[in-house]
Amino acid sequence: MPMHLDAITLLDGRHGLERLLAFTRQADARAALAALVRGIQANPLWQALGSVRLVARLDPAPTLALFGSFSAAQRLQLQDLAAQLDELLTAHRYVDYHDAERAAERLADALRRRFGSEALSRCRFTAIPRGGWIVLGMLAYLLDLRPDQLVAPGAAPPGRYADDERLVVVDDCALSGLRFQQFLPQCDAARVIFCPLYANPALCRAIEAAESRVEACLHAVDLQDVARERFGKAYPRWLAERRARIGESGYWCGIAEYVAFAWCEPQTKYWNAETERFEAGWNLLPPALSLKRRIAASRLHAAHGGTGEPDVELLDHHASGRLTVADGVLWTEIDSAVALARLSAEPPGSAPCLRLEETAADMWHAVLAHGSLEGAETELVARYAVPGETLRQDLAGFVAQLQGHGILACR
């Protein structure tokens, strides 16, 4: 019978193991799943979910779902999480220090081509904290900048900036341009060059058009807009809503593809319909791959008494008989009952749970263990004082019912 629990799909098995290994940078399936779970659980949003159960299968393909009772707001948060997981496993950019150096070389070349080495020697350089300072450190070597060319935000040189002097503002990435928009008032120079290492070209053009002081917006690596693909036919409505919500904040309404750096993962945002404002969303990079994520994960675990180990139930089903659990089916024990769910990849990505109690739960465990009616019957006859024929009929009916629900399948 249905129980008052839902299973919300986070991974539906479409992506396969290879992409999970690539994102987590692990060579082993279990280690990759553990790394992904650590990334999910190292979030304040996860801590706020309360009593939930994360359940996974690796065979035949990685599947992951969250069992629990969820509010409408939590469902929206988890749908955002599932969408992010789908996109980052499809295509993601992880930028380690070597990648960042190569991109910084491209950015340095773009600055030289546009302005020339002589003009750059007269520029001042600053950065948007904190990732921008890492990129600026690389540029300082690549462009052979003098120490006096590096200035703190808002710190004008002696006698203030000359009319023809430029201030170059560096950042590791620009997603909507909001950070630069908030930073720009600190810049005293009349002529500003904005240099995000990674950005969408349309965002750069929008900044140049919106800010008269910005002489150029140069970036090294393009970030694609994934909004159209994410929302499909609903894209025009989503775009109108997003423009209304953003207002004057930022310069661009797209959604840049996922990017993360060895030093940090940019903070995502989601629209909280209850508070009617953007709030901190999910960060998913495994903490081992990013300095900022490691620190954040350690603080969260310490604040909530955690051990740092991933809290996930990994199902390992290898019965040798003809009866097997169907692909995309997850189960767990909650309150002395078995909760079963057949995951759905279609929106909203949740499925009601079936509840198996007492005899039904024992039948489930026996079928799992033996993979056949005969093996399950032998185990249960030894446990229950009922005629074999009666138990055989009840067991056959139970199995047929689960096959009808798509829970069990025959090899």
Q: What is the pLDDT of residues 19-67, one digit of tens each?
A: 999 999 999 999 999 999 999 999 999 988 888 899 999 988 899 999 9
Q: Is pLDDT above 90 for 114?
A: yes
Instruction: Provide the pLDDT for residue 216.
Output: 97
Instruction: Provide the pLDDT for residue 343.
Output: 82
In the structure, what pLDDT confidence band is assigned to residue 188 with cuts at 50, 70 and 90?
A: confident
Instruction: Provide the pLDDT for residue 276.
Output: 79
Helix (H) or strand (E) holding 68: strand 63-68
Instruction: Provide the pLDDT for residue 303.
Output: 79
When mean pLDDT is compared over 14-23, 76-85, 258-267, the highest value belongs to 258-267
Instruction: Look at the chain and count its residues.
Output: 411
The residue written with tokens 């508070």 in the block is: 275
Instruction: Provide the pLDDT for residue 293.
Output: 93
Tell me the pLDDT tens digit for each residue of 263-283.
999 988 777 777 778 888 899
Return the higher-pLDDT residue of 231 and 214.
214
Q: 340 has which bridge partners?
A: 331, 354
Q: Is pLDDT above 70 for 336?
A: yes
* Pick from 342, 363, 361: nearest CA to 351: 342
SS3 breakdown of the chain: % helix, strand, coil, rounded to 5? 45, 25, 35
The encoded tokens of residue 369 equal 């263990």
Residue 234: Cβ-neighbour burial (10 angstroms; 0-12, 13-18, 19+) = exposed
Q: Phi-psi category of 218—alpha, beta or left, where left has phi over 0 and alpha has psi -120 to 50?
A: beta
Instruction: Provide the pLDDT for residue 383.
Output: 79
Percent of the chain with pLDDT over 90: 45
Q: 333 has which bridge partners?
A: 338
Instruction: Provide the pLDDT for residue 157.
Output: 55
Instruction: Provide the pLDDT for residue 345.
Output: 57
One-letter amino acid at 101 equals E
Tell me the pLDDT tens digit for each residue of 139-178.
999 999 999 999 987 665 555 555 568 999 999 999 999 9
Instruction: Provide the pLDDT for residue 154.
Output: 64
Least confident window among 104-118, 202-216, 231-245, 295-309? 295-309
Q: Cβ atoms within 10 A of the Cβ of 42, count? A: 27
In degrees and rounded to multiples of 5, residue 211 shows phi and psi of -115, 110
Q: Cβ atoms within 10 A of the Cβ of 406, count? A: 12
Q: What is the DSSP letter of 322?
A: S
* Pick from 377, 375, 361: nearest CA to 320: 375
Mean pLDDT of the chain: 88
Q: Is pLDDT above 90 for 120?
A: yes
In the structure, what pLDDT confidence band is assigned to residue 387 with cuts at 50, 70 and 90?
A: confident
102-125 mean pLDDT: 96
213-242 mean pLDDT: 92
Helix boundaries (H) for 211-265: 227-231, 235-246
Instruction: Provide the pLDDT for residue 2.
Output: 43
109-132 mean pLDDT: 95
Q: Give the C-alpha separation, 254 to 227, whole Å.
A: 6
Helix boundaries (H) for 282-322: 291-303
Q: Is pLDDT above 60 for 296?
A: yes
